[in-house]
Amino acid sequence: MPHSIEKVLVIGASGLVGGHLVRQLLTEGRTVHCLARDATRVQELADAGCEVTTGDILDPAAVATALESVQAVYICIHTLSPQAHSSSGQNFMDVETAGIQNVINGCRDVGIRRLMYVTSIGVATDARSAWVCGRAQIEQRLFATGLDVTVIRPGMIIGRGGTGFDAVARGARGRAAIVLGRGTQRFRTIAVDDMAYYLAGVLDDPRSFGHHYDVGSDDVMTIGEMIDVAAERLGRRRPVKVHLPGRLLRSAAPLIERATSMPRGAMTGLVDSLQVDMSGDPKPIRLILSRTPQTYRQAIEHALR
Ligand SMILES: NC(=O)c1ccc[n+]([C@@H]2O[C@H](COP(=O)([O-])OP(=O)(O)OC[C@H]3O[C@@H](n4cnc5c(N)ncnc54)[C@H](OP(=O)(O)O)[C@@H]3O)[C@@H](O)[C@H]2O)c1
C-alpha cells in the first residue's frame, strides 16, 4: 500500500533511537533523509540508502537544507552530549529549545505539517530537573504550533549503544556496578525495535496528532533490577551496587561537565531527573498500535548478544 508520507527527515540518526528508526523507515520503503553533525557516524545508514545533510540542529541553514523536499520530521536528539557551543557556556536545554525552534520555523517556511518528538516518560512542567521541565515546555510549545505533532515518551530503551542500557550491561558484566543516586527510580523498559515500531507506526496516523504517548513493555524496574537480570542472563553473579549519592554528584556537576565536555547544566539536569518516576502508562498507544512489546528479558536477549 502506498504511504501517504513518502519522505521523512530524522534528526539524531547517529543515536540509538534515530538509527533504528531510519532502518525501520527504509525497510517500509520510505525515502529517508537525516541531519547529522558528523557524517561518518551515519555512514552505515547512508550505505543503506539514507540521504545525509551534515549540520547541527542549531544551524538554521542546515535545518532548512535538510527539510527540503521532506513531508515529515522526527526529532530524536538529546543534548547532554557535547555541544558545539558548550565552550561558550550555552546551557544544554537552551540548545534543545533553540534547535527545535529552528525546526518549527523551517517547517512553517516550507509548509511541512507532520512533526514527531521523542522525550521521556515523566516529563512535567513542575519538575525540579531543568531537563524534565524544559522538555515538557518544548512539548507544550510544539502542540501550540498547530502543526500535526506527536510526542513519544520512552522510559529505559533496551538496545546496544544506548547510554542507559550500556551502563546496565557494563554493570552486569562486572563485580561492582555503579548506580547514580539511591537507585529507587523505576523505569518502564522498551526494546529499541519496539521504539522504532511505535515511531514509524504513528507517522501516517491522524489519531496520534496532538497527543503524547508513554511507550513500553509491561516491565517496570529499577536500574539494580535490570543489572541483576542481565547478570543472570550472562551467567554471572549479581554485582555489588555502588551508589553515587545525588548530593555529591550535584556538587561535583560543574567539574564533571568540564571534564567530560558535557554542556553546562547537563549533569545537574540528569541528577535531578533521578527523582522522576518513569513508569508511565503505555496503554493509550496500544489502542492504535497493537503489537505486543517485548518483555525486558526478551529485549536483553538481543541487546546483550
Ligand atoms: N536511551 C534511552 O534509554 C532513553 C530513555 C528515555 C528517553 N530517551 C530519549 O530518546 C531520544 C533519543 O535518545 P538516544 O538514546 O537515541 O540518544 P543518543 O544515542 O545519545 O543519540 C542522541 C542523538 O542526538 C544527536 N544530537 C545531539 N545534539 C545535537 C545537535 N546539536 N544537533 C544535531 N544532533 C544532535 C546526536 O548526534 P551526534 O552523534 O552528533 O552526537 C545523536 O544522534 C532522546 O530524546 C532521549 O532523551 C532515551
Q: Does residue 188 register a pLDDT over 70?
A: yes
Task: Domain count for the chain, please give it.
Answer: 1
Nearest atom in ligand 1 to 120's CA: 7
Q: Which residue shows C-alpha cell 512489546?
A: 293
pLDDT score, position 85: 62
> Is residue 21 assigned to a domain?
yes
Q: Does residue 261 register a pLDDT over 90?
A: no
For residue 90 and ligand 1, the question of a CB distance below 6 A is answered with no
- Residue 62 belongs to what domain range? 7-157+190-216+279-293
Q: Does residue 274 register a pLDDT over 90?
A: yes
> Is residue 31 assigned to a domain?
yes
pLDDT score, position 87: 52
CA distances, 235 to each of 41, 219, 228, 242 (Å):
33, 21, 10, 21
pLDDT score, position 83: 80
Helices 192-202/16-27 angle, 10° precision: 60
Q: Whose CA is nearest to atom 11 of ligand 1?
A: 76
Q: Whose CA is nearest to atom 48 of ligand 1?
A: 157
Q: Determine the average pLDDT of the residues in 49-69.
A: 97
Residue 31 near residue 6, CB atoms below 8 Å = yes
Residue 82 near residue 259, CB atoms below 8 Å = no
Q: Does residue 3 register a pLDDT over 80?
A: no
Residue 54 buriedness (CB in 10 A; 0-12 / 13-18 / 19+): middle
Angle at 287 between CA 282 and CA 289, to 5 degrees: 85
DSSP letters along 138-204, please?
HHHHHHHTTSEEEEEE-SEEESTT-HHHHHHHHHHHSSEEEEETTS---EEEEEHHHHHHHHHHHTT
For residue 156 and ligand 1, the question of a CB distance below 6 A is answered with yes
User: Ligand 1 centroid vs 42 CA: distance in angstroms?
Assistant: 13
pLDDT score, position 1: 57
Nearest atom in ligand 1 to 153's CA: 7
> How confident is residue 272, by pLDDT bands cut at 50, 70 and 90?
very high
Q: Does residue 88 register a pLDDT over 60?
A: no
Query: What is the rounded distance in angstroms from the CA atom of residue 160 to the CA atom of residue 246?
Result: 26
For residue 268 and ligand 1, the question of a CB distance below 6 A is answered with no
Q: Element (H or E) spanning 211, and its range?
A: strand 211-214
Domain of 210, CATH number, reads 3.40.50.720
Mean pLDDT of the chain: 95
> Is residue 67 assigned to a domain?
yes
Single-letter code of the amino acid located at 223? I
Q: Does residue 253 register a pLDDT over 60?
A: yes
The predicted-structure confidence for 92-126, as pLDDT tens digits, reads as follows: 999 999 999 999 999 999 999 999 999 999 999 99
Q: Does residue 46 register a pLDDT over 70?
A: yes
pLDDT score, position 33: 98
Q: Determine the average pLDDT of the residues in 58-81.
A: 95
> Is residue 221 assigned to a domain?
no
For residue 17 and ligand 1, the question of a CB distance below 6 A is answered with yes
> How confident is residue 81, by pLDDT bands cut at 50, 70 and 90?
confident
Residue 52 near residue 34, CB atoms below 8 Å = yes
Which residues make beta-bridge pairs with 114?
72, 148
> Is residue 11 assigned to a domain?
yes
For residue 55 and ligand 1, the question of a CB distance below 6 A is answered with no
Nearest to 298 by CA among 194, 224, 152: 194
Nearest atom in ligand 1 to 14's CA: 43
Q: Determine the average pLDDT of the residues in 122-144.
A: 96
> Is residue 232 assigned to a domain?
no
> Is residue 206 assigned to a domain?
yes
- Count of residues making up the chain: 305
> Is residue 40 assigned to a domain?
yes
CA distances, 6 to each of 42, 179, 192, 256 (Å):
21, 43, 23, 43
DSSP-derived letter for residue 133 is H
